[in-house]
Structure 1
Amino acid sequence: MYPIDFFWRAAARWPGNIAIDAPEGAIRYDALAAQVAALATALNALDNTLQSRVGICAKNSAEHIVALLAVLACGKVWVPLNPKSTRPEIRRIIDATEPSILVLDTACAGLLEGAAGARIHCGSPPPGQSSVAALIAQHAGASRPAFALPQDATQAIKFTGGTTGLPKGVMQPYRAWMTNVSNQIHAWGFDEHERYIVAAPITHGTSTYLLPILAQGGCHVVLAEAGAEAVRTAFRERGGTVCFMPPTLVYMLMALPGAARADFPCLRRLIYGGAPMPPEKIREVRAFFGPVLGTTYGQTEAPQSLTVMRPEDFEDERNWAAVGLPTWFSDVAIMAPDGRLLPPGEVGEVVARGDLVMSGYWRLPEKTAETLVDGWLHTGDRGLIDERGYLYLKDRLKDMVITGGFNVYPVDVENALGQHPAVHECTVFGVPDEKWGEAVQAAVQLRPGQHATEGELIAFVRERLGPVQTPKRVHFHASLPRSAVGKVLKTAVRERAIAPDAPSVPSAPPPANESTANPS
């Protein structure tokens, strides 16, 4: 069995269910299955080599979903290309993976200029080039392609974000995708009544929810526009029941003018990921949305669901700083630098093994050997596991600040700073210091209309954590710099902080309807 088989089975069981609800119209399961089979046949006609790569560079759309499913259906390897990325970065990924076929929005053509590979356009193509719709029509009535590959064969090559070093192509095998589908369905209880709001990019975390929802006969609701207002409208008017999004977008939904729980009448699962949510934010979100909040911990090397925190886990406030319990088919442990597995309560590197773990980095055997050691994936995260089995993250190994001989975990300081009523969001980091080796500093984004001084915030943290963990400086940002998927770019914040004459002037965050999270 392969990941695509979850979809084929659902199409046979729920042929009349709506699989995709897009602005241009609804697509039933039986129609979607026919489209996927036709496009998969077309991809094989263009290149019949098993495991050849197909790059997809497109915004969220029904055709994007069809193209991705078609890649899975014909034994090829999906290479997601973020349309919000830069041309050099896109070209670097293409040069590394050598896709023979490129699926793209016409608006993304400039990003792919000069790259080899047959082009298939979502929407209307330029003269002389093909489109998804035309290929589906050309191969209408085609049977599903058949192929045979081992479970360790590669299903996708997804590149790491690159905020902590040179991005690497992670080879996600079939077994990892099968495991993720099982974990998501088990954790969230998806069923045929699900309506998943496609708010975050398909090229990133949203992709891990496509098959779990489809496997259970649910529907993906595609938005016509990006941004918090569009997401709220989809929940209010199109019956959204579940969504995955970065914390930033959650906060933006709550800050929209007139926002109320009534805007989300059918919501039963609000899953955040990609960045931590401090305990005080968890309190605010639960007060607004009710007991629907959940989260997962994973990384590109172990996609999405090494651990899960379900809404019922959030009922216990002891768990608010945790990222959940290990999921099926995965072992999660804490390891000392000498390779010893540590007992509950001790801090070390988070390691994992099992079916969810990648097979390696694309054409980087040395990096693979550094990261996969004796079957354990070294995540680069520091954390601890308590006596109940819950995982608590401290920070990236390289993000830990050693100041005056003491270890300071930025997440602890961020959690304290985030309790201040004027702080909308914050990040904490270390900078070189002649006296202390490293000095703890922070960058904050204030709530609209709120004011706080540097001295006030420093005193606030000192009262809660003591002098060692208290920031020596606080830098104020109108809007913290973020990646294309909403993560705060700690490296960029740190570089700005250590620049000569770095400003430290309080200023308000952007308006609540400004989409800093790039949800699609």
Structure 2
Amino acid sequence: MLPIDHLYRTARLLPDSVAVESDSTALSYRELALRVDALAAHVQSIVPGCRNRIAICGHNSLAHYLAILATYACGNTWVALNPQNSKRDLDRIVEVTRPALFIVDDDCLDKFTPNGAPVLIATDVSGGTGFESIIRRHGGDRPNRDGVTLDDLQAIKFTGGSSGVPKAVQQPYRVGSTVHLHMRLMYGYHGGDTGLAVSPLTHAGGTYILPLLAVGGRTILLRKPAAPAILDAIEQRGVTRMFLAPTLLYALMAEQQRQPRDTRALHSITYGAAPMPVEKIRQAQAIFGAKIDVTYGQTEASQCLTGATREQLADERHAGTVGRPGPLVQVEVMDAQGRILPPGESGEVVARGDLLMKGYLDNPELTAATIVDGWLHTGDLGAFDEQGFLTIRGRLKEMIISGGFNVYPTDVEAALSKHPGVHESIVFGLSDEKWGERVEAAVRLRDGASVDAAELIRFVKAEIGSVQAPKAIHIVADLPRNEVGKVVRREVRQRFEQDEPGAASKVQP
């Protein structure tokens, strides 16, 4: 059974239930299935057969949502083009993947350079042109995906790349099927759920489509992820669950304190894509209640390698962990010699099972270096506790060795987050003649806070000791982020690597 089959099953069982809403448009499951089939049939009239690469560039629009499902419905491979990325990055994706067809929101035509393949403009389905005319023309038609199996490619997605060089990850339909099952079993998705698609559909927003379709839930598409609009949707449209990167969750917390909304309908905010200090988790729980979940994974092993529910994160013993492994994956911590380590010992997080990618596109050497003896090497440092909960301590390459001691950036960031004046921080290591590497941090203060670097350094020393305390702290107005709002540690480090060591406190642009 392919992931898209859950849409058709729900359309038979709950044909009149609302499946998706965008602005003033709502589609029932019956209407959604008919539109997906019509669009998929049209796609196959342009590029016959299955297993073609279909590049989709759009916002969180109904047209984008339909295009993704139609790609699955005709057994093709989705190539995600996020319009928030640079034209250079999108052109590279196009060059590497060589799509057979482009489906593009009308305001995204200038975001990339097509490779000569046909371009289908996806205007809003209620606009009378574009998809609307296609759906009228192909109403009642069905796509053909005979022979497509779970081992065929569902998507090619690109990692952010800690090295700065994105890699093309091949995700088979098996991954999509496993992700949806993990979410249902680990987080209790059900037919009464209303999910708010806040993150881009090219990223986590698209991942959460199928679990909601499988249980007969409703998805609300939010075009712009602004904190006031998110809270308004929760209050006015009965949103029960959503996924947020920590940065956006912090903005939501600040907005809720500034102008409270009724969030009683909400029962789950799942965070992921970046670590969240325990202090921030506690603040979020104080504002929204015990509604914070966590998921951990990566493009090479999609959500959820591990996860913890809101009840588990409310337990002091598990706060700050990323939970336990999902039922269809094995997750361990391994040392440099390939030995699996016992609870309490830190090493590289490795995984095997049905969530793993097929490999990197056209890069067998990198694939072989990443998947060794069936184990995916994530590049993350972590440790399990005796109850099987995993704590991530940072990237293997980001661990700082200062004066012969291992310093984990996440430990320092967690200490900084306890200071009442700190909104957000990022910790990094720089070369140093005396220490080998010196610990430094860039800190964004809370609005109205007045704190200098020396005070923050003293605070961290009191929390975790002198060895891990930064030698310099840079007070910044903002931090560089990628298209999903995650702070890019590499860019922060590059900004300050030419500075002389010292307790810097000047505000950087």
Would you call these one fold, judging by a TM-score over 0.5?
A: yes
Match for residue 271 of structure 2? Answer: 272
- Displaced runs of 4 or more, over 4 A: 257-262, 500-509
Match for residue 465 of structure 2? Answer: 466
Does structure 2 retain, via aligned residues, the 8 Å contact 1:261–1:288? no
CA apart distance, 1:213: 0.6
Match for residue 496 of structure 1? Answer: 495
Identity %: 44
Match for residue 37 of structure 1? Answer: 37
Total equivalences in the alignment: 505
Query: After alignment, is 249-258 or 436-445 more displaced?
Result: 249-258
Q: Would the alpha carbon gap of residues 311 and 261 (structure 1) be closer, same or farther in structure 2, given more than 3 Å must change?
A: farther
Match for residue 422 of structure 2? Answer: 423
Aligned counterparts of 1:504 and 1:86: Cα–Cα separation in 2:
32
User: Does the alignment pair 1:93 with 2:93?
Assistant: yes
Higher relative contact order (CA 8 A, sep 6+): 1
The amino acid across from 2:492 in the alignment is V
CA apart distance, 1:477: 1.0
Aligned counterparts of 1:458 and 1:116: Cα–Cα separation in 2:
56
User: Does the alignment pair 1:174 with 2:173?
Assistant: yes
Match for residue 478 of structure 1? Answer: 477
Aligned counterparts of 2:356 and 2:124: Cα–Cα separation in 1:
39
Match for residue 345 of structure 2? Answer: 346
Aligned counterparts of 2:31 and 2:505: Cα–Cα separation in 1:
56
Match for residue 361 of structure 1? Answer: 360
CA apart distance, 1:344: 1.1
CA apart distance, 1:260: 6.0
Match for residue 185 of structure 2? Answer: 186
Q: Would the alpha carbon gap of residues 150 and 292 (structure 1) be closer, same or farther in structure 2, given more than 3 Å must change?
A: same
Say which SS state the counterpart of residue 461 (structure 1) adopts: helix
Aligned counterparts of 1:155 and 1:312: Cα–Cα separation in 2:
33
Does structure 1 retain, via aligned residues, the 8 Å contact 2:50–2:75? yes
Match for residue 249 of structure 1? Answer: 248
Say which SS state the counterpart of residue 165 (structure 2) adopts: coil
List alignment gaps of at least 5 residues for structure 1: 510-520
Match for residue 234 of structure 1? Answer: 233
Does structure 2 retain, via aligned residues, the 8 Å contact 1:349–1:381? yes
Say which SS state the counterpart of residue 460 (structure 2) adopts: helix
Match for residue 516 of structure 1? Answer: none
TM-score (norm 1): 0.94
Q: Deviations over 1:366-391 (max 9, x none)?
A: 11000001000000001111111111
Indicate the RMSD between aligned Cα atoms, in angstroms. 1.8
TM-score (norm 2): 0.96
Aligned counterparts of 1:191 and 1:409: Cα–Cα separation in 2:
38
Does structure 1 retain, via aligned residues, the 8 Å contact 2:422–2:445? yes
CA apart distance, 1:71: 0.2
Match for residue 106 of structure 1? Answer: 106
Match for residue 50 of structure 1? Answer: 50
Q: Would the alpha carbon gap of residues 270 and 114 (structure 1) be closer, same or farther in structure 2, given more than 3 Å must change?
A: closer
CA apart distance, 1:144: 4.3
Aligned counterparts of 1:151 and 1:203: Cα–Cα separation in 2:
21
The amino acid across from 2:391 in the alignment is Y
The amino acid across from 1:419 in the alignment is K
Say which SS state the counterpart of residue 207 (structure 1) adopts: helix
Aligned counterparts of 1:108 and 1:237: Cα–Cα separation in 2:
30
Aligned counterparts of 1:225 and 1:165: Cα–Cα separation in 2:
26
List alignment gaps of at least 5 residues for structure 2: none
Match for residue 119 of structure 2? Answer: 119
Aligned counterparts of 2:349 and 2:256: Cα–Cα separation in 1:
41
Does structure 2 retain, via aligned residues, the 8 Å contact 1:106–1:124? no
Does structure 2 retain, via aligned residues, the 8 Å contact 1:446–1:508? no
Aligned counterparts of 1:225 and 1:108: Cα–Cα separation in 2:
15
Query: After alignment, is 247-256 or 177-186 more displaced?
Result: 247-256
Does structure 2 retain, via aligned residues, the 8 Å contact 1:242–1:267? yes
Q: Deviations over 1:449-476 (max 9, x none)?
A: 0111110000000011111101000011
